[in-house]
Amino acid sequence: MPSERDRPGSPPTADTDLLTPEAGFGRQVGIVTAASAVLADHGSAPHAGLPGVLADVPVAVLVIDQRSSSVVYANTAAVRLAGNVRLPVDVDTWGAAAGLTDLSGAPLASSSGPLSTVAQGRPVTGEAVRLAPGTSTEPQRAGAAGLDGQTDQLLWVTGFPLSQADSDEQLSLVVFLHLDTAEETDDPDAYLQALRERAVIATDITFTITDPRRPDNPLVWVNPSFTRVTGYEAHEVIGRNCRFLQGPATERAAVAAIRAGLDTRETVTTTLLNYRKDGTAFWNQLSVSPVFDGNGELVSFVGVQTDVTERVRVEREREAAFAAEQAARQEAELARSVAEQARSDAEHARTAAERAQGRLTLMAEATSALIATLDMGELLDRLARLCVPRLGDWVYLTLLDEYGDVRSAVARHRDGREADLATFTELHVMHLPVASPSRRSMASSQPVLLAEVTPEILEEAVTSPGAREAFARLGGSSVLTVPMVARRRTLGAIALVRGPGGRAFAQDDVDLAADLGARAALAIDNVRLYQREHIVADTLQRSLLPVLPDVPGIESAAHYVSASSAADVGGDFYDLLHLPDDSIGLVVGDVVGHDVAAAAAMGHLRGLLRACIWDAEDADPGRVLARIDRLVQGLQVASLATLVYARAVRPRATGGPWQLHLANAGHPPALLRAPDGAVRVLAEITGMLVGVDAGAQRSTVVLDVPAGSTLVAYTDGLIERPGEDMDQGIQELCERIAAAPVDAGPRELCDAAVSGALDHRDDVALLAVRFG
C-alpha cells in the first residue's frame, strides 16, 4: 500500500509538531472511527479506502499487515517521521528509519517492541518510546537532525487490531502521540510510571463502536480502556447493547436523550450514572456520534466515554459550600440584631458579601459585553472600559501574535491622557522587556503583583527613559498584570495600574483580575477563530466564482456578498459566457445549503452548466436546463438548486433589438431595466427546482430587448427578509434599481441593488448585463 509520501505539497522532512497532545489526543477516536468505517465499507480490501480518511489527521498513523509483519500504509505525519522509505517495509526497518529507540536508547528492532507486538495481532494499550532523529538509518534525515539541532522526544505508542479474525486481510492500526518529557530519576520504574501518568489522557478514554444495522444496535468493538473503566472484558460485551451499564439510579431523561440522538442519527453528549461489573457506580460523560459511509448510509455509532465521577463530586461539594455560605450570611444578619458584637460581625460579613456581589456583577457584565461582539478592536475597547476605573486608574492591554511578539496594544486612562498613553505604548508596550510585569505574566502564565512600584523596580521594568517619564505623568504606584490564556495558548496580558494616593493592589484584586483575564482570553480567542474561519470560508466561496470576460457589444458587472455567520459558505454563483455562435449566456443559481458541501456542489454544478451551455445540441435555454436536470440527478452533483439561464442573441441589423431567450428553474425572476430606466419583472417564465423531476419539460420565453437595456439576475439573499413576503423584497429591489440614474451602467446598478438593508444571513450573488 502506498504512503502519503507522493501527495502534492507533502514536505520531505520531519515535523514533530504534528504529534503534539493538542493535535493528537482529541483526534484518536476520529482515527479509530474512520478506519473502522472504511473496514465496513470495503469488505475484502479494507485498506483500499484508508488513505482517504487517515491521510491528513494531525498525528502519525501506521497500518501494519500482521501476516507479513510489515508497514503497508503511512499517513503524511508518519512519512515525516521516517523520511523517504518505500512501502511496504518491515516494521523494524521502518522504526530504524524513524530513529525509534526504547527509553534507554537501544533500537526497537526486536520482537518485544510495540510495533512488533501490534504486528503479531496483539493490542498495545500504551508504551513509551524515544524518537531520536540523529540515530535514523536514513542519512538525509540523520544529517538534517544534526544541522537543525533537533532533540530527542518521547512518543506514546498505542495500537489496536482493525480486522475481524475471519477477514481476508489482518491489519492493525498504530498511533504515535507526543509526551512531555518527565524528569529522569535513578529508578527506571518510577520514570516509566511518570510517563504513564502523562499518557493517561491517551489511554483512559473509552471508545466503543456499535452496529445499528444489526438487531438492537450491539457493540462490535471496545478498546482496552473500556475493560479498565467498567470491569467488563471485550468478549463479555461484544454483541450486546450497552444498556447493561445502566442501573436503578440511572437518570431516565439522560437515557431518553441518548435514544433520541440515535433515532435522529445526530451526535449527542450527556452525563449519566452507570455501573461497573462489580456493581459500583460511576459518573460517565458519554458522547455518541453516527458514522456514515460514502453513500450516506449509517454504518456505526462511535461512543467516547470518560469517567467524570471526581468532577461531579467536586461540583456537588461546591454547591454545598455555596448553600453553606448563604446560611452563614443569614445567621450573621440574625446575630446582628441580638448584640453589638454580633452587629459588628454581620457588618463585616455584609461588606465581604458586597465585594463578592460586585465581583459577580462585574464578571456577568464582562461576559455579556465581551461575547456580544466579533470585532477585535471593539472587544478590546470594551475590555478596557470594564477595567477603568473599577479595577484601576489606567490599563494597557497587550496582544501577542502566533510567534509570541507583541502584535497590538490598547490603553485607557480614567482622565483621558491619550498623548501620554500613546507615548508609553509606543516606547514600552510594543517593545516589552523581559523584566516587565506583562512579559513576566505572559511567560509564566501567572499573575504578577507589584504592590509598590519603587524607582528601582520601575527602572528595571521600563527600560526606555521616555516611557518612564510618560509613566510618571500617567501616575503609577501599584501594578498588577494577569495573563490572558485560552485553549492552552497565551494570547496577551492585562496590566492594571493605580496612581499615588490610591489603595495598593492586594490578593483579592489578583483573583478578580485573573478571572476577568480568563474570560477575556476566551472571548478574544473566539473572535480570532471566527475571523480566521470566516476569511477562509469567504476565500473559498470567491475562488469558485468566475472573472467576467470582456464580450464585445455588452457591459457587465457582478457582485457577491457573503453571509456574516462564522465559516459559512454557500451555493450562490453566477457566470457569463461568450458562446461559439456569438450569442451570450448568462446564469445565476443557488445550490440549497450554506456549508462547504453546498459550495462544492456549486462548483460541480457550475462546471456542468458551462459544458452543457457551450456544447448544447439545442441552444434553447429550456432544453438546456432540462438536460442539466437529468445530469444533476443522474450524476448526483447536487441535491436541489435554483437557476435562471438567459441566452442573448445579437441584433440582426444595426440598431435592432436583441433577442433574449429565458428559462427559469424555481429561481427569483430576473429584472429588465429599459433604456429609459423603467424596471420590468420577467415573471413570464418559471419552473421546478433542478433536482426534483428529471423528466420535467421546461419552457422558454423569447423577448425582444431594445439596445441599452440591462438584465439583472440575483439570488434570494438580496430580497428575503424574516417575516416579510418575497414579493415585497422584489418590489423594493425594483425601486432601488429604477431610482438609479438613467445612464447608470451595470456596476452602478449592482451597487444600487445591494444598497438596501441586507439580512446577511444568506449569501448574495448578482449579475447585471447591458446590451449595446
Which residue range(s) make up the domain with 146? 1-203
171 and 316, same domain (yes or no): no
* Main-chain dihedrals φ then ψ at residue 12, nearest 5 degrees: -85, -10
CATH number at residue 576: 3.60.40.10
The helix/strand/coil state of 184 is coil
Boundary of a domain, candidates 344, 368, 392: 368
Question: What gap in Å lies between CA 264 and CA 142, rounded to an integer?
Answer: 53
What pLDDT is stored for residue 25 in this prediction?
39
Backbone phi and psi for residue 680, each to the nearest 5 degrees, phi listed first = -120, 135
Please state the separation of Cα 227 from the chain's center in Å. Answer: 33
Same domain as 723, residue 577? yes
Q: Are residues 418 and 449 in the same domain?
A: yes
Burial of residue 136 (CB within 10 Å: 0-12, 13-18, 19+) is buried
Residue 233 lies in a domain: no
Which residue blocks in 204-308 are alpha helix, DSSP H? 224-230, 234-237, 252-264
Of 76, 75, 46, nearest to 62 (Cα)?
Answer: 75
Residue matched to cell numbers 461559439:
580
Residues 629 and 638: their CA atoms lie apart, in Å, by 10
Is 733 contained in some domain? yes
Q: Are strands 394-400 and 489-498 parallel, antiparallel or unpaired?
A: antiparallel
Instruction: Report which of 255, 239, 257, 237 is spatially closest to residue 247, judged by C-alpha positions.
Output: 255
CATH number, domain with residue 453: 3.30.450.40
Domain boundary among 187, 203, 219: 203
Query: Domain of 72: which CATH number?
Result: 3.30.450.20
The reply to whether 401 falls in a domain is yes
Residue 31, helix vs strand vs coil:
helix
Q: How many domains are contained in the chain? A: 4
Q: Are residues 555 and 481 in the same domain?
A: no
Give the type of residue at 553.
Answer: G
Residue type, position 627, single letter: R
pLDDT at 8: 35
* 455 assigned to some structural domain: yes
Residues 379 and 506 in one domain: yes
In a domain? residue 266:
no
Query: What are the residue ranges in the chain where pLDDT is below 50?
Result: 1-30, 33-34, 37-53, 201-202, 564-567
Query: What 3-state class would DSSP assign to 707?
Result: coil
289 within a domain of the structure (yes/no): no
Q: CA-to-CA distance for 239 and 673, rounded, in angstroms?
A: 69
Which residues, in sequence order, are CB contacts of 136 under 8 Å at separation 6+?
A: 82, 83, 96, 97, 98, 99, 142, 145
The residue from 176, 203, 230 where one domain ends is 203
Whether 610 is in a domain gets the answer yes
What angle separates helix 596-614 from helix 621-635, to the nearest 10 degrees? 130
Q: Which residues pair with 712 in a beta bridge?
A: 671, 768
Q: Is 331 exposed, middle or buried (0-12, 13-18, 19+ CB in 10 A)?
A: middle
**For residue 666, what pLDDT is reported?**
92
What pLDDT score was predicted for residue 399? 92
Q: What is the pLDDT of residue 185?
A: 56
The cell 421546461 sits on which residue?
698
Contacts of 607 (CB under 8 A, 6+ apart): none
Residues 340 and 351 in one domain: yes
Who contacts 424 (Cβ-Cβ below 8 Å, separation ≥6)? 396, 411, 467, 470, 471, 474
- Compute the residue count for the chain: 772
Check residue 607 and give its pLDDT.
84
Q: Kindly state whether residues 350 and 389 are assigned to the same domain.
A: no
Alpha-carbon separation of residue 520 from 34, 135, 410, 496 (angstroms):
36, 46, 14, 14
Rounded to two decimals, the pTM is: 0.40
Residues 572 and 700 in one domain: yes
Whether residues 355 and 386 share a domain: the answer is no
698 and 593 in a single domain? The answer is yes
pLDDT score at 205: 66
Is 252 domain-assigned?
Answer: no
CA 654-659-660 angle, to 5 degrees, is 145
What Å distances lie between residue 175 and 94, 118, 169, 369, CA to CA? 14, 11, 19, 43
User: Which among 64, 138, 62, 130 is positioned nearest to 97, based on CA atoms?
Assistant: 138
One domain for residues 515 and 553: no
Cβ-in-10-Å burial (0-12, 13-18, 19+) of 620 comes to middle
Residues 348 and 444 in one domain: no
Residue 88 preceded by cis peptide, ω within 30: yes
120 and 170 Cβ atoms separated by less than 8 Å: no
